[in-house]
Amino acid sequence: MVTLSLESAIRGVQLLLGWSVLIQSVEYLRMQSALQAFGEQGVWRWSLQEREMPTRAPWFLSSVGWLFAPIQLQVLFWLRALSALCLMVGLTGVVLMAFLFVSTVLLLFRFRGAFNGGSDFMTLVVVSGLFLSDAFAPWVGGESAHHAALWYIALHALSSYFVSGWVKLKRAEWRSGEALVIFLDAGIYGPLGRNSVFRHRHVARLCSWSFMLWEALSPAILIGPMAALLFCAVATVFHFLVFWYFGLNRFFWAWMVTFPALVYCSGWAASF
């Protein structure tokens, strides 16, 4: 039976997380550079978003306002990129993870919850799991802390897939395949051509049901690591297609980070 050791799983999560955060940091930096051309007309400027938080204490708004100024924000992005590289080469620890955790929360606040939807929240899940693991390791032991972190990450990932699948199954437009066509029409290559294969009712329905059942049955991967590997292979194709049709590159890497945790936890669960 194919299994993944605790050390390999943690290292895999760290490596993929570093790569994911590095891509996010580069994306932020490129966006920051592009928006400077618009000056105060940039849609993400803090002076505009600050108005939506009238109940915040003035001292708090003043503090984060200084941090979110263009130069300081750019420094924050560079520091996250450097931290991501450290994580990728194995230079990790509680201080590094604390910085990534705090900076991730600050960026979620900066962009009013998330800049790129669920992928940013999944990044926060993984970062918080590794941060808490490093923080509690001196008291509970590194092995127990890493084991708990992997389960924390895996359960969040599985619940994400599970809820997404069952919500779609409850909607008639998803069961009929109509919702799939609507989404693809709104994609970066949309609208679909008149003769697109996805406009065929049976094809759209088959694709919809395939991915809905795959998501809804995601907890079944805990029967063994082979099931988890198969699930992750399908997930890779699924998230790549989401990237290809909708340009959501962060989603691809944010969920890839969770795969080592899924394989490890499925192997651990199957051993009982």
Per-residue pLDDT tens over the stretch 105-149: 988 888 776 667 788 899 999 999 999 999 999 999 999 999 999
Would you state the pLDDT for residue 130?
96
Q: Are 6 and 150 in contact (CB under 8 A)?
A: yes
Would you state the pLDDT for residue 115?
67
Q: Are 80 and 115 in contact (CB under 8 A)?
A: no
8: number of CA atoms within 13 Å, CB side? 11
Would you state the pLDDT for residue 53?
67
Token reading at 106: 């600050």
Preceding omega of 191 cis (within 30 degrees of 0)? yes
Q: Are 223 and 243 in contact (CB under 8 A)?
A: no
Q: Output DSSP code: residue 200.
A: S
CA nearest to 16, candidates 236, 245, 271: 236
**How many Å apart are CA 65 and CA 68, to the nearest integer?**
5
Please give the residue that has the higher pLDDT: either 150 or 201: 150
Q: Are 46 and 32 in contact (CB under 8 A)?
A: no
Q: Measure Cα distances from 136 to 13, 103, 125, 158, 198 in Å.
A: 18, 20, 16, 24, 50
Please determine, for residue 3, whether its predicted confidence score (pLDDT) is greater than 90. no
Q: Are 270 and 1 in contact (CB under 8 A)?
A: yes
As a whole-number percent, the residues of the chain with pLDDT over 90 amount to 58
Provide the pLDDT confidence category of residue 42 given band limits of 50, 70 and 90: low
Cα four-point dihedral sign 202, 208, 209, 214: positive
Burial of 203: CB neighbours in 10 Å, binned 0-12, 13-18, 19+: middle
CA nearest to 135, candidates 100, 102, 97: 97
> What is the residue type of 167?
V
Work out the number of other CB atoms within 10 angstroms of the CB of residue 47: 10
Burial of 97: CB neighbours in 10 Å, binned 0-12, 13-18, 19+: buried
Please give the residue that has the higher pLDDT: either 58 or 17: 17
CA nearest to 14, candidates 116, 85, 118, 103: 85
Integer-rounded Cα radius of gyration of the chain: 21
- Strand, coil or helix: 198: helix
